[in-house]
Structures are given as structure tokens and as C-alpha cells.
Structure 1
């Protein structure tokens, strides 16, 4: 009897051991639970200035088509195509010989007119001496006076013709009217050119450059309202600062100023043309290039900034999720303002409050979370955590 009793007891003990062994691992695999982790960053308070971005096209302040002012045979080309020329530099020479001959003829006519006028004055002087003895009639005196006046008029006409002849001779030397960069020479020596046709070359000024852009009606009204409210200086007293960047540049490394705003909106596009001017003494800008411009649109003011990606939409409202006391998620309606790189100015959040920037899908309003504070760069992106002290290299 003892043998079977102990056998049954040992079997029961083995079953109990197996049951405990099976239950133990199941209890260890059950999740421990706890609030989900989220990344948070404190709301920032900074001094900012609002701005608007536009696409602009660069143009030269002066674009001059060089044309001949007298007709003749093109004699010489004095410039290298594409070179920088200064105001007054010779560009082309038209054969001056016919015009030099015309100057000589006009000078001879002036001399003849002066000789004839001197003779008329001498005749009038001699006749006036005979008036006392009635040796000449009044009619003859009047005729002599008229001859003197005609002689003076002939001198003026001859002198005017001489001035025109000298101008035509001067026009045979085609000179640069502005300082700038030349285009190609469209006419080569030996060709006959007429007045105004063809275009000999083109010069664009290079010391400054204009950036033309179109602003919407809403943007234009915003700036008008800000100026009237005193939030930004008047265009007459202090032109707005404008920043510019080319297609191959990062950011806006060039600074200029507003120079012109058109006097009417284009009804077809509901936009108004604006212009900024930039220094170009080093010749860095080329007319015709596209550029990005940033127009500073307000005075400096303090604003609360949160990362752009931390703002969500709930129907018609904009919200951010705040980690409040006891790490409880609190939805906070906000009024978004201007954007500054990766940040957005908002109303409704206090500086220093913890805003959830990553892990929004795990944050439920009214539920606890495990906040993990991260540092952000200027674009609103999280910076990598510094390596732990003593970590192996």
C-alpha cells in the first residue's frame, strides 16, 4: 500500500510544479503599463519682425539701346563685346568726312553773313550823316535799317546751321551714354547705318540693380494699415529693408531697400508692383535673374513662438497640446500669427509652457504622459542628445 501512495503523491507534486512553472513566465510577460512618452519643448518668447516673401526678377535701372544719330558708313568699333564701359567712352565711329565738310561750309556761310551785315551797317552809317543836309530820303534810311536787321538775322541763321553741322560731326563718334556692361555689336565696320536703325548695341547699367515683385491685394492693404497705425515707418521717411537671395544661395544674404510702389493695382491679377534696389558695384547681379526677396513688414515686437508642427487643427480651431500639472495633457486653442522659419507666433500660450512637439498621436486630452524635454534648432527641429559622459569612443 505504501508504494502506490507515494507514487500518487509524487505525481501530484510534479503536476503542481509544472503548473507553477507555466504560470510564472506568463505573469512576467504582462506589460507593466504607464503613460506614453512624448517629446516636449518650452514655448519661447523672442523679439521678432514680420516679413513677407516674394519671387522677383532683377532688372537694370538703365537699359539703353545705342542707335546712330546720323547716317553714314560705320568706320570703327571701339569696344570689346560684353565689356564694362564708362559713360563717355567711344563705342562706334561713323565716317566723319562728309560732316567735316558740312562744318566747313557752314563756317563759310557764317563769315559771309557777318561780312554782309557789316556792309549794311556801314551803308546805314554813311546815310545817316546825309540826313542833316537832306542828301538822302527817309525811305532810303528805312531800307538801310531793314538791311541791317536782315543781316543780323542771316548771321543767326548761319550760326544755327553751323551748330547743327558741328553736332552732326560730333554724332559720328557714338559714345556710351551711361556706365554699364555692353552687349554684342550688331553692326560691323563697312556697313551703312541710318538714323535710328539698326540698334548698334545695348548697354545696361551695373552699379545698382532693381528687384521687381508683385504683392497681393491683401498684402498691400496689410502694409498700408500698418503704416497708418504707426507700426512701421513711412516709405518716404525710412524705406523698408528688403533681403534677397539668388537661386543658388541659402537664405537671404543680400540687403537692400524698398524703392518704389506702383500707384494702382493690376485688376487682372489683383496685385500691385513693388521694387527694391540693391547695390551691385561688384557686378554680382545680372539683369534677368530670378530671385527670392523677403520684405520686412513690421517693427520689432515680443511674440510667443511654438514649433509649426506642434499646431493641430480641430474642426475650425487651431490647437496645441500642453503638458500641465501632474503631466496631464491639456488642449489649448491658439490664434496663429506670422511664421518665422520653423516656428509660428501664437496667442494663447504662455512663455515656458511645455508644448508637445512629437508623439501627438499618443497624447490624449486629459490623460497623463511621460514628457521628455528636447532642444530645438532655429528651424524647430529637435537637436540630437549629447553623448553620455564616459561613453566609449
Structure 2
């Protein structure tokens, strides 16, 4: 009898322990779920950006050559300096030119005296002709001599003007404001007018960037852009992470290049810090005018599976689901999604680094940070967009 009682008691105890274990199992499983940051996707109005490569060009560039031939007497600048229009850069030996000027001035004085005598003789001939004291032929000869003296004086005066210009051109001046290069020909060397390149000067007030936009892109994204609308662009130099320079379109070509199917466009970047140099390689970003709403998610939320991009969304019972997406423009640390996600979807914001599809999680809802991110271009946020 006691044996039966003991067996029954043991069986009851076992059932009680099993029931307690079954009650604790869901609690233990719940405690083991991994906490994951999740957030609802954002839907924002955005503009797409198009990137082009270019090399900077100066609006004004001069290969400086002398207007007269001669010997370089002195160099009046420091190589690499900023020069102003009218600054004397090279001084040629002016003595031969000054001698020509002096000679012509002396000849003019002689011609003026001869002209004065010819005028006096012509007047006297006219008086004598009235009294029939001189023949008509003699009077006409004196008038002809007067006209010759006048022509000789005019010719000498023109030669003097030219000689004075040559003397002035012995001072080779800068025709533009800009940055000067090195001296290609040094002191003591002979230079030839219109042939010897003394140095080069490039304007530093602004820089041009020419780039070609394909016809399809221009018609779909920029068809209403004109040079007068001053469409904003931003630029990045080689070795920089940010698009730190802001400019605008100031020229659009008048026809499509039929050979390439592209339209030549020019942006101008006005700056005073001399940070831009002609010939530099650069990248241009141009914002399309059309604004459209796109789903926005963090870049880190996107995973890569062979050739596919995907995110993990939170489904029923907080189970992660695999969802293929197509991505668009990047905006700082965020990315636009063109297909695969809809408003209201909730994603794992840190991506598939620690979790995978089919895994139940303990969701920790956070908000996607958009501080300091510009999704559309405006005068207030153009520079902000350039930094992304």
C-alpha cells in the first residue's frame, strides 16, 4: 500500500515539474530574442543629381608676346605673382626707339619750317598773280610745293606717332588681371615682335567648367534650364571628399552635337581665394529641376546579395523578412529607394550585420536622423547639399 502511495506522489511531482518547465520555456525564449533597432521608412520630396567630369578653364588666358623686337633690359615681376592690368612686366632696351623718336622730331621741325616758307611763297605768288607780275604756271608751282610740304609734314607726324608707340611698347605690360607664370626668356636675350612668348597669364577672378550632357538627360531633367536662370551646380576637386565649390550655369550651347548626341554646357565658379587653377580635373554635380517623393532609408540598412540590394523588414510577430530593393540617389548617410519599399514599412536600420531573414527579434523603435541632410536644392541648402 505504501509503495502505491509513494509512486503516485512521485508521478504527481513529475507532472508538476514538467508544467513549470513548460511555463518557463516561452519566458526563456522571449528573454533570448535579440534587441534590434528598427524604424519606419521616410518618404521625402527629393531631387536627383547628375555628375559630370571636367577640367577647369580660365575665362582669360594670355600668352604674352612683345609688340616690338629688342633686348630684354629687366624683368619687373616675381614669378607666380598676382598682377594687375597695366603692370609693367618686362622692360626692353628703349634707347634705339628713343633715338628714332628724336630723329623724327627733328625732321618734323625742319618740315614745319619748310612748310612755313612754302605758305609764305604761295601767298606772295597769289598777290603777284593778281598784278600780272607772275605767270599762272609759276603760281601753281608754288601752290604745288605748299601741298608737298604739307604732305611731308603729315607723313613725318604719322611716323613719329608710330615711333612713340614702339617706344611705349618697350614696356611690356599685363593686358589682364591674373596670376603670372615664370619668365620664359630672361634678361639680356633678344626677343622678336609677335613671336617670342615671354610668359603666360591666366585670370583668377573666376573659372569655367565645360561639360557635356546627353540629349536624353537634358530633355528629361533640364529642358527648361536657361543661362539666365543661373542653375546651381557644385564642384569637387581631385583629392577632396566634399563638393566644396558652388557655381551656376552661365552658358548653354545653341545646338546638340550630332556626332555625340550631347549638349555643351558651361558653369562658372567665382572665387577670390585663388584655390581654383586652370587645367584642374574636377567633378560637377547638377540637380534636376523635377522634385519627386521617394522612400528614404539609411545607407547602412542596405545589404548586398550577389548582384541584388536588399533590406530586412519587420513582419508579423516581429520576424525579419528579406525584401529586394532598387536604390537611387545618395543624400549624406541616407539613400533613396526607387522600388521595393512603401510608406509604412519598418526596416532594421543597421542592416543584416547581426541578423537575417526569418529571425524573430525584439524591436527597438528609433527615428531615422535627417539633421543636416538636404533632399532638394535651394539657395539656403545648396552648400549643405554640396557637402554630401
TM range (shorter): 0.7 to 0.9
- SS of corresponding position for 1:362: coil
Looking at structure 2, the residues matched to 83 and 32 of structure 1 have their Cα atoms a distance apart, in angstroms, of: 75
Could you tell me how far apart the structure 2 residues matched to 1:224 and 1:136 are?
88
Deviation at 1:183, TM superposition (A): 1.1
* Counterpart position of 2:297: 307
Q: Which stretch shifts more, 266-275 or 27-36?
A: 27-36
Q: Are 1:344 and 2:336 an aligned pair? A: yes
In the other structure, the counterpart of 2:378 is none
Match of 2:357 in 1: 362
Partner of 1:110: 108
Contact 1:307–1:343 at 8 Å: present in 2 too? yes
Q: Is the 8 A contact 1:215 1:273 kept in 2?
A: yes
In the alignment, the residues of structure 1 paired with residue 152 and residue 272 of structure 2 have an alpha-carbon distance, to the nearest angstrom, of 52
Structure 1 counterpart of 2:58: 60
How does 1:214-293 map onto structure 2 within 5 Å? 214-225=212-223, 227=224, 234-236=226-228, 238-267=229-258, 269-293=260-284
- 1:278 positional shift: 1.7
Do the aligned partners of residues 337 and 133 (structure 1) sit closer, same or farther apart at CA in structure 2, a change above 3 Å counting?
same
Q: For 2:69 and 2:325, how far apart are their aligned partners in 1?
A: 73
Q: Residue 143 of structure 1: CA displacement? A: 3.2
Distance 1:76 1:157 in 2: 33
* Distance of 1:351 and 1:124 partners within structure 2: 105
Q: 2:150 aligns with which of 149, 152, 155?
A: 152
Q: Give the match for residue 169 of structure 1.
A: 167
**Cα gap change, 1:362 to 1:326, in 2 (>3 Å):** closer
Which region of structure 1 is more displaced relative to structure 2, 191-200 or 368-377? 368-377
Question: Structure 1: how far apart are the matches of 2:159 and 2:82?
Answer: 36
- Alignment match, 1:386: none
Which string of whole-angstrom CA distances, capped at 9 and with x for unpartnered residues, describes residues 125-160 of structure 1? 111112322233333343333333333222221111
Give the Cα–Cα distance (whole angstroms) in 2 for the partners of residues 369 and 235 of structure 1: 55
Structure 2: distance between partners of 1:251 and 1:211:
17
**CA distance in 2: counterparts of 1:60 and 1:38, whole angstroms:** 54
SS of structure 2 residue aligned to 1:212? strand
- Structure 1 Cα separation of the partners of residues 188 and 283 of structure 2: 46
Q: Report which stretch shifted further, 256-265 or 176-185.
A: 256-265
Query: Does 2:365 correspond to 1:373?
Result: yes
Shift of 1:98: 0.6
The SS at the match of 2:179 is: strand
The answer to whether the Cα contact below 8 Å between 2:313 and 2:348 also exists between their aligned partners in 1 is yes
**In structure 1, how many angstroms separate the alpha carbons of the residues matched to 2:40 and 2:154?**
87
Q: Distance in 1 between matches of 2:135 and 2:363?
A: 124
What pairs with 1:82-93 in structure 2 (closer than 5 Å)?
82-93=80-91
Quote the Cα distance in structure 2 between the aligned partners of 1:124 and 1:140.
Answer: 10
Between the aligned partners of 2:121 and 2:278, the Cα distance in structure 1 is: 68
**CA distance in 2 between partners of 1:141 and 1:47 (Å):** 96
Tell me the number of residue pairs that the alignment of Structure 1 and Structure 2 aligns. 362
How far apart are residue 210 of structure 1 and its match?
1.9
2:127 to 121, 129, 132: 129
Q: Distance in 2 between matches of 1:321 and 1:142?
A: 112
Q: Distance in 1 between matches of 2:370 and 2:239?
A: 21
Structure 2 distance, partners of 1:201, 1:259, is: 30
Hey, what's the Cα distance between the residues in 2 that align with 1:142 and 1:281? Answer: 70
Please, which runs of 5 or more residues in structure 2 have no aligned partner?
A: 374-388
Task: Give the superposition deviation at 1:348.
Answer: 9.8
CA distance 1:96–1:380, change in 2 (3 Å): closer
My pick for the range that moved more, 69-78 or 30-39, is 30-39
Asked if 1:207 corresponds to 2:199, the answer is no
